[in-house]
Amino acid sequence: MMSPNEQNKLKLRQICFIFLAFMPVTKISLLPSVLSGFCEERLWVAALLGFLLDIGVLFIALHLYKKHDNCTLFYLLENKFSKGAAKAVYFGYGVYFILKAIVPILEQQDYVHNTLYEISPSAAVFVPLFIVSFYQSLKGLKILGRCADACIWLTGLGLFLVFFLAFNIVDFTNIFPIVQKPTYKPVNALFRSIIWFSDSVYFLLFLGHFEGEKKQTLKVVGSYGLASFIVIFFMVVFYSAFGSIAKTRFFATTELTIYSLAIANSARFDYIAIILLMFSQVFAIILPVYLATKCFERAFGLKKALIPAIIINLLLAVFTVVFTEKLFTVLSFMSNYLSYVFIFFGYVIPFALLFIPKEKKLENTSKA
Amino acid sequence: MKTRVKHRIVIIVALILSILYFSNDFSLIDIEKTAIIVAMGIDKADEGVEITTQIGIPQATDQALDNQDTLISAKGKTVMDAMEILSKRSGWIPKLSFCNVIIFGKELASDDISVIVDHLLASEHFQNSALLAVCDGKARDFLSTPTPLDAISSFAIQKVILENGATSSSVLDTNIKNFCQKNYGRDKCGYMPYIRIISGDAKGQDSSSSATTDYEIEGDNRPIDGLIDVLPLAEGSSDGGGGGGGGETPTAIFDASKTAVFKGGKICDILTEKETIAFNLLSLPADRVIITVQADGKNSALEIINSRHKVWLDYGVKPTLNMKLILTVRIADGSDENGEGNSLGRRATVDKKFLKSLEKDLSDTLEGLAKRQLESETDLFGIRNLTYKFNNAKYEDYKKIPLSNYQVKTHIHVSSRDKTDENT
């Protein structure tokens, strides 16, 4: 019997690590200031609502796993509806993942330019990211697991350092009052920032690509819950530190650490944390690009991911060069016009999948 | 065959990536042309502002500490406009990441600094942890004043301001972030250390407690008229930790024990030394703050070793601002004016009369300060913010109450450090 590694499958531990290593790092840069711009001290409420929805999707996916014997989403759709329908859904998800990757990529680019460079560098400096992304897109799923295995430590250490250095400037009363009315502000904030959420939809694509384990619901939901808690705690720390000016502090991790007395008295060793988190962010922003490639590979019935990988990475590279320093224009466009698209693919389709009846006999498959 | 092709592709890609990586200069600027700005002074000019930047020039380790730092100033419509002119004329690229102190001239601060501070906050060039201060005069003069405390005057100012950033002290320090947080918050009020120059002797025997607002600038470093002036400080060296230099020994010592209060971006009040310490105790935990109290004609310097503080509002019959301070003190110096000291020194418990005296002193100071601020509708104590946080349901109603309608109550309790503590 082949091991999950030989079958190019993920281990459940690796899925948990994907959530823990990659989910927080994409949400601690720009998202805190965007949320505080919409709902001030209740930014954590907006994030909590988003993560509750995400965990709901995760429960749906785990339910599908049990109900349909760990078959892939494509196989399920193909069997229940038709191959065309399955391809259409995968095509939709391919587009969705590309859209989902755009803001984090531009965010990362802006962050790198602002943090590591004294004066704005050429846009081409960021292009090598897409060479890494292209290489990763050609590989099987286990590359994600291995990246997560490595990055979990970097993310953990980076976040620990950030929290440690930020500790002396936080005033937790800044997030008071905890309970207040009206509630539409956090809901609106979530709607406008929905592009950062719904990471749990990745798990739908992992169905059929991992071996089940005992207490897997607890492990998967627990890891996503822990990652969500870290992000919410980060937001609380962020707002506690900046209060009324939080909405103007765009790169939260760098902003939080510079006020430490340890930094003032020695040197900018907070860059260790920044670099560690940036390294994890590279793989975190590649994740949706990778999944988009796999979706298009299935949607067009291709044997290899080479062509979609070239096209997607080339498109994104060109887009990134063209829209360098235009992060907020893109963000504004997406939150104004594309929020419904994100809700549809992130929450509506997973919810609709609940209503697919159980097949009497469904062949298990693990083919990507 | 396929494997060999794959390997070749991998090597080629790796080479391309290496070329991209190693041919990149990471946009580093020429160090020969880079001016590392360690402090900046901003003054009001006829049209716009005048900035004075103090540049830190690295010195060889085998040489005595010469006063090689240079001041460059330029005028412009805005701070960045002036900076651009400065850059153009001097040929130096200003690097502001190490600018740790920004000093505003009093004239500018009396006008309005909101726009400038807003720029400092938004600019990617400045560190938001840079200390802010306002000086009693022109910032340019302060930065050009040699001091025996450090070769670079701004470093001396920085030391004076940042006595201890984490705990209470005799200076109410602030940085760009903290100032903006209050100024753009519901309080719409902020504060900065108010720096003065004290003319003492070369040994620095003058103490800040006897400081006056009158100051004297030694030497003639005043710039010539023009858009941009380079102001090399007087040549010379000093031994040891002395700095400044010049033909004569620099005598200026900086004092930051007073605090300038801002409302709407303008100075509206100056807190005295006592008020600064008392207000600081309400904001931060105290550690080694020394206050001299008088009782029965005797002086005793008490060291605050522990403190708890709380500020809260009471919307009962009349809106009330409550301030609570619980302090633990010990004797720092029990000598009286005749030099007769307490033989037990720091181990002795503090006499109750001194404790009561300190309680009364702090209570009177805080009450007087609070009443003065409230009467001028200055929300230094953060009443609006406290109302929003802890009386949110009625915030809209309560925020309409004029600050002058608030009562002030102080709850000060000072106790001596227990004798038994000494054994631990």
How large is the ipTM? 0.82
HSE value, Cβ hemisphere, 13 Å, CA-based, for A117 = 17
Q: Which of A117, A169, A264 has the CB atom closest to B27's CB atom?
A: A117
Chain A interface residues (partner B, CB cutoff 8 A): 114, 116-121, 125, 127-128, 131, 135, 168-169, 173-174, 176-177, 180, 242-245, 248, 255, 258-259, 261, 263-264
Helices B273-281 and B352-375 cross at an angle (nearest 10°) of: 100
Average confidence score pLDDT of chain A: 89
Q: What is the pLDDT of residues B42-81, one digit of tens each?
A: 999 888 899 998 887 665 555 544 444 578 888 888 888 8
* B7: Cα separation from own chain's centroid: 60
Which of chain B's residues have a Cβ under 8 Å away from the Cβ of A259? 128-129, 175, 177
Give the helix ranges, DSSP H, for B250-315. 273-281
Q: Minimal CA–CA distance to B106: which of B6, B224, B12, B195?
A: B195
Which of chain A's residues have a Cβ under 8 Å away from the Cβ of B162? 264
Which of chain B's residues have a Cβ under 8 Å away from the Cβ of A176? 389-390, 392
What are the CA-CA distances from residue B150 to residues B238, B240, B246, B319 (Å)? Answer: 10, 10, 13, 49
What is the percent of chain A where pLDDT is above 90? 60
Q: Which residues, 6+ apart, have CB-to-CB distance to B368 below 8 Å?
A: B275
In this structure, the number of other CB atoms found within 10 A of the CB of residue B125 comes to 17
Q: Which two tokens stand for residue A20?
A: 């823990």
Which of chain A's residues have a Cβ under 8 Å away from the Cβ of B388? 177
Nearest CA in chain B to A112: B26
**Inter-chain contact B27–A177, Cβ cutoff 8 Å?**
no
Q: What is the pLDDT of residues A26-43, one digit of tens each?
A: 999 899 999 999 998 999
CB distance A175 to A41 below 8 Å: yes
**Phi, psi for A97 (deg, rounded to 5):** -70, -35
Q: What CA–CA distance (Å, rounded) separates A169 from A176? A: 16
Residue whose pair of structure tokens reads 């295995």 in the numeric block: A149
Predicted TM-score (pTM) of the model is: 0.85
Q: Evaluate if residue A147 carries a pLDDT over 90.
A: yes
Long-range CB contacts for residues B206-209, cutoff 8 Å, separation at least 24: B206/B253, B208/B170, B208/B253, B208/B255, B208/B257, B208/B273, B209/B257, B209/B273
Res A122: pLDDT: 77
**Inter-chain contact A116–B26, Cβ cutoff 8 Å?**
yes
Start-to-end CA span in chain A (Å): 19
Residue whose pair of structure tokens reads 């907070």 in the numeric block: A270
Q: What is the pLDDT of residues B102-148, one digit of tens each?
A: 999 999 998 888 889 988 888 878 888 889 999 988 998 888 888 87
Q: In what order do the strands lie in the sheet with B319-333?
A: B289-295, B298-315, B319-333, B407-416
**Inter-chain contact B389–A173, Cβ cutoff 8 Å?**
yes
Q: How near does any CA of chain B get to the CA of A197, in Å? A: 28
Q: Is the dihedral of CA B166, B168, B171, B172 positive or negative?
A: positive
**Inter-chain contact A248–B13, Cβ cutoff 8 Å?**
no
Q: Which of B124, B127, B181 has the CB atom closest to A258's CB atom?
A: B127
Q: Which two tokens stand for residue A167?
A: 């500790």
Residue whose pair of structure tokens reads 């600050």 in the numeric block: B403
The domain covering B272-424 belongs, at the CATH homologous superfamily level, to Nutrient germinant receptor protein C, domain 3 (3.30.300.210)
Q: Which two tokens stand for residue B63?
A: 């040489």
Tell me which residues of chain B have a pLDDT lower than 50. Answer: 64-68, 201-247, 337-339, 343, 420-424
Q: Which of B13, B17, B27 has the CB atom closest to A119's CB atom?
A: B27
Q: Evaluate if residue A318 carries a pLDDT over 80.
A: yes
Q: What CA–CA distance (Å, rounded) separates B171 from B179? A: 15
Q: Evaluate if residue A202 carries a pLDDT over 80.
A: yes
Which of chain B's residues have a Cβ under 8 Å away from the Cβ of A118? 27-29, 95, 97
Q: Evaluate if residue A244 carries a pLDDT over 50.
A: yes
Q: How near does any CA of chain B get to the CA of A139, in Å? A: 14
- Chain A interface mutation, best of B87, B392, B398, highest count of A Cβ atoms under 10 Å: B392
Residue whose pair of structure tokens reads 């153009």 in the numeric block: B88
**Inter-chain contact A118–B127, Cβ cutoff 8 Å?**
no
Which 8-state DSSP code applies to residue A29? Answer: S
Q: Which of B20, B175, B184 has the CB atom closest to A244's CB atom?
A: B184
Fold of A12-353: Amino acid/polyamine transporter I (1.20.1740)
**Phi, psi for A8 (deg, rounded to 5):** 60, 40
Nearest CA in chain B to A129: B17
**Inter-chain contact A259–B129, Cβ cutoff 8 Å?**
yes
Q: What is the mean pLDDT of residues A68-84?
A: 88
- Chain B interface mutation, best of A244, A258, A327, highest count of B Cβ atoms under 10 Å: A244
Res B345: pLDDT: 52
Which run of H or of E encompasses B108?
A: helix B106-111
* CB contact burial A30-56 (16+ within 10 A = b; e otherwise): bbbbbbbebbbbbbbbbbbbbbebbbe
Q: Minimal CA–CA distance to A70: which of A148, A9, A132, A25?
A: A9
Res B235: pLDDT: 40
Q: What is the pLDDT of residues A263-291, one digit of tens each?
A: 767 777 888 899 899 999 999 999 999 99
Nearest CA in chain A to B18: A128
**Inter-chain contact B129–A258, Cβ cutoff 8 Å?**
yes
Q: Which two tokens stand for residue B136?
A: 């009693």
Q: How near does any CA of chain B get to the CA of A35, in Å? A: 17
**Inter-chain contact B27–A248, Cβ cutoff 8 Å?**
no
Which of chain B's residues have a Cβ under 8 Å away from the Cβ of A180? 392-393
- Chain A interface mutation, best of B98, B100, B177, highest count of A Cβ atoms under 10 Å: B177
Q: What is the mean pLDDT of residues A209-233?
A: 93
Q: What CA–CA distance (Å, rounded) separates B328 from A345? A: 61
Residue whose pair of structure tokens reads 């306002």 in the numeric block: B134
Q: How near does any CA of chain B get to the CA of A202, in Å? A: 29
Which of chain B's residues have a Cβ under 8 Å away from the Cβ of A166? none
CA quadruple B114, A262, B385, B370: dihedral, nearest 10 = -80
- Interface A–B counts its CB contacts (< 8 A) at 67
Q: What is the mean pLDDT of residues A165-193?
A: 87
Res A86: pLDDT: 92
Q: Evaluate if residue A367 carries a pLDDT over 50.
A: no
Q: Is the dihedral of CA B381, B386, B391, B396 positive or negative?
A: positive
Beta strand B289-295 pairing with B298-315:
antiparallel
Number of continuous H segments (helices) and E segments (strands) in chain B:
11, 14
- Chain B interface mutation, best of A41, A118, A238, highest count of B Cβ atoms under 10 Å: A118
